[in-house]
Structure 1
Amino acid sequence: MTALWTSDEIAAATGGAASASFEVTGVTFDSREVGRGDLFVAMPGTVHDGHKFVDAAFAAGAAGCIVSQPVDGPHVLVGDGFAALQALGRAARERAQATILGVTGSVGKTSTKEALYAALDRNRPGRVHRSVKSYNNHTGVPLSLARMPRDAELAVLEMGMNHAGEIGALTAQVRPHLALITAIAPAHIENLGSEEAIADAKAEIFEGLEPDGIAIIPNDTPYRGRLVKAARRHADRIITFGSGDADVHAIHAVTAETGGSLISAALLERELTFTISQRGEHWVSNALAVLAAVEAIGEDVAVAALALADLGGLKGRGERHVIELDGGELVLIDESYNANPASMAATLKSLGAEREAKRRIAVLGPMRELGEHSGALHAGLAPAVV
């Protein structure tokens, strides 16, 4: 494999000193994820210090480490592991020739990121990079940047937040050419106080846009105007998706025989009829956002739509498991990754639309980070449950 980083490049990026010459093909700060040829970044942790796992990382095949104290084995010695990871991420972004797409939102950002990656990878197989899992915070974003291959042509990077200012810090690292907001909902309202403040925090993603940048904004939100106003300060082009007068909207959307949706959509330059494998009205919105982004950067939307039809289940986000029982079967729908009022209501609506079900059981956990709004927002789900 082509080297992702050499020891000299790592040392130059981080201001560290290499103990030996080595090359790596991957980067991780989780010793459980180390593969052969990886760079292991020993991070100072709140529970465990990453230096305790250096030996395990080498045993798992790591080719080198970033450390802030000397260790046995090839390494780059730095003053601070976290700062070194951020520096490596910045260096990756500086050398990148790829078109960068940034994704955030209160709900649907990981699902949309995965769908957007699939759509772009169908256009340019093997040339698209993405952040994995939900690596979207102050450590996940620089890690995702540091992992970006030298020859990547497109990259889809997710950004998340719990407080105001966090998206601004992340988008300054990512510097996207296109920034997409999936939706605004009262997730993390405990920390931000209001949905208006949540919209403003999400709109920070536009601050990092490169010149001639593109903003993709949901039309179906009371904060559309607020988002558009924020985008105008930084974006060269603004595209809305959703219903009504959105630039990209569904003309018709019906449930497909497979359980997903059959959609006829008006895109920027054409109309397109396609199917998506994922179930629920919220996935119609996700699909429109994806195709808006794909068309905006000049990729083939028809090819992208084929990927949306083939998109498999996403772990913790609607993945379906069939369990055989005496006299029938149980379909378990795994939506366990996270919960907020918008995603919970969408999930319950999707469950209610299961036509073949003779019985439906919703197993609901509490929604966190809602603060003083918690009681009202939990009670507000009663109509969706009914």
Structure 2
Amino acid sequence: MSLWSAHEIAAATGGEAHGAFSASGVTFDSREVGPGDLFIALSGETTDGHRFVAQAFEQGAAGVLVSRPVDGPHVRVADTMAALEAMARAARARTSARIIGVTGSVGKTGTKEALHAALDRAEPGQAHKSVKSYNNHTGVPLSLSRMMADCRFGVFEMGMNHAGELAALTRIVRPHIALVTTIAPAHTAFFPSVEAIADAKGEIFQGLEPGGTAIIPFDSPHRDRLIAAARPYAGRIVTFGMGEGADVRAVEVVASPTGSSFVLATLGERELGFTLGQPGAHWVANAMGVLAAVEAAGGDLAQAGLALAELGGLPGRGAQHDVPIADGGTARLIDESYNANPASMRATLQVLAATPATRRIAVLGDMRELGADSDDYHAALAGPVVEAGVNHAILVGDGMAALAKALEGRVELVHVPRAAEAGAALDAVLAAGDAVLVKGSNGVGLSAVVAALVKRRQPCSI
């Protein structure tokens, strides 16, 4: 199916079309170019996409978007980044889809994926989403430019690490529904307080379409702050969570030994009982936000409940694997290697605590961008580690020195500088029946530890 023609790209960007072509996909990463794609040659501080134009055509690109003459069908513009944003705005303008924006300090990618699954299950192929964690000033416009004009729903993740970034993104996305997940210390190196982070997340409401819906975590200490941020822009404000008084509330949660839970939710006068496949109390709260957004979008709540039962963990964000052990048996691996902040560390340590195991091992990497209070945030994890019943901790990176000191004499531990040493330390102790949590900021590189273990994995249910 055609997503963009050369003529449509030129009209959207004010560029000049050189040769006719029709693109079925869009990318600015030359490694991802496939047959029929439009390759956008972005120019950055470290590399220039124009160097990869020939490679893009070799990989089957239908055409390219460039700012200088090239061989092959292309649209030439003055600035390819500005052109990408123009395509995003044009994609948004040409669709009648219900658009949902998702942000938060913790849980936004998982919530985005769950929300897409809930909408797509009821109307297969009619829901569009931002892929991976494409949630910044390049990823959001790219995700919009990939949206078919005739889809029914669009779900977009939006992130930030400085004030003002989300305000710019939400005005491109122009959501009908804006959902905020958990607010927590993250990127505190760039903010004076968690309240300032809440204010920055509240910028998502500034782009709401007239009469739009703001969906806010009821149990958050920043609830009233977010409500105040939403009030000037939202036609309707909906709260979700666990506490009495939430508009969408989990009134009963019964956990099973397999990690799933039965949840009874109320949405005003209605009730919905469903099984939640993902383990952890944080996922129960996220699911309430998903239901609130599905209802606001006019989706099918019953199908949403079925989708939440079927939802699997994402690589780096909760995927679980049974890893064979050389001497026989398996260990359960919980892959949370993509990112970490104090709130998500606590939440996933609780998942580890609830995982049936002979021993529990935590491989924990630095939490980055926490600023002057970084040592305090790391040291404060000692209590959750002990409460989770961790038998052996492998701490990775300089930032974990404060936690290592706080855990002395309380948990068997090693502290290593890099992910490679963490992998070796884990191999030395891993045994059948163990449950292993691997979590840290992406820059620590713990995904390599996970990848080495997953190579020998067996399928499991989560």
TM-score, normalised via structure 1 length: 0.98
Report the equivalent of 1:344. Answer: 345
AA in 2 matched with 1:234: Y
CA distance in 2, matches of 1:134, 1:5: 23
AA in 2 matched with 1:229: A
CA contact (8 A) 2:259 2:354 kept: no
Report the equivalent of 1:84. Answer: 83
Post-superposition Cα deviations, 1:295-320, rounded to whole Å, max 9, x if no partner, equal 12221111111001001220100111
SS of the equivalent of 2:363 reads coil
CA distance in 2, matches of 1:371, 1:341: 13
Q: Which runs of 4+ in 1 moved over 3 A?
A: none
Report the equivalent of 1:224. Answer: 223
Alpha-carbon distance, 1:103 to partner: 0.2
**Does 1:362 find its partner at 2:367?**
no
Report the equivalent of 2:335. Answer: 334
Report the equivalent of 2:286. Answer: 286
Pairing of 1:1-386 with structure 2 (within 5 A): 1=1, 3-244=2-243, 245-325=245-325, 326-354=327-355, 356-386=356-386
CA distance in 2, matches of 1:89, 1:130: 14
Alpha-carbon distance, 1:257 to partner: 4.2
CA contact (8 A) 1:256 1:275 kept: no
CA distance in 2, matches of 1:129, 1:373: 39
CA distance in 1, matches of 2:269, 2:98: 21
Alpha-carbon distance, 1:220 to partner: 1.2
CA distance in 2, matches of 1:114, 1:65: 30
CA distance in 2, matches of 1:138, 1:180: 19
- Gapped runs of 5+ residues in structure 1? none
CA distance in 2, matches of 1:268, 1:106: 27
- Gapped runs of 5+ residues in structure 2? 387-462
SS of the equivalent of 2:159 reads coil
Alpha-carbon distance, 1:265 to partner: 1.0
SS of the equivalent of 1:12 reads helix
CA distance in 1, matches of 2:299, 2:369: 38
Alpha-carbon distance, 1:272 to partner: 1.1
CA distance in 1, matches of 2:79, 2:152: 31
Alpha-carbon distance, 1:268 to partner: 3.0
Query: Is 232-241 or 249-258 further displaced after alignment?
Result: 249-258
* Rg larger in structure: 2
Alpha-carbon distance, 1:335 to partner: 0.1
Query: Is 128-137 or 375-384 further displaced after alignment?
Result: 375-384
AA in 2 matched with 1:330: A
CA contact (8 A) 1:268 1:295 kept: no
CA distance in 2, matches of 1:313, 1:52: 37
RMSD over equivalenced CA pairs, Å:
0.9
CA distance in 1, matches of 2:360, 2:328: 16
Query: Is 109-118 or 184-193 further displaced after alignment?
Result: 184-193
Alpha-carbon distance, 1:86 to partner: 0.6
CA distance in 1, matches of 2:275, 2:257: 10
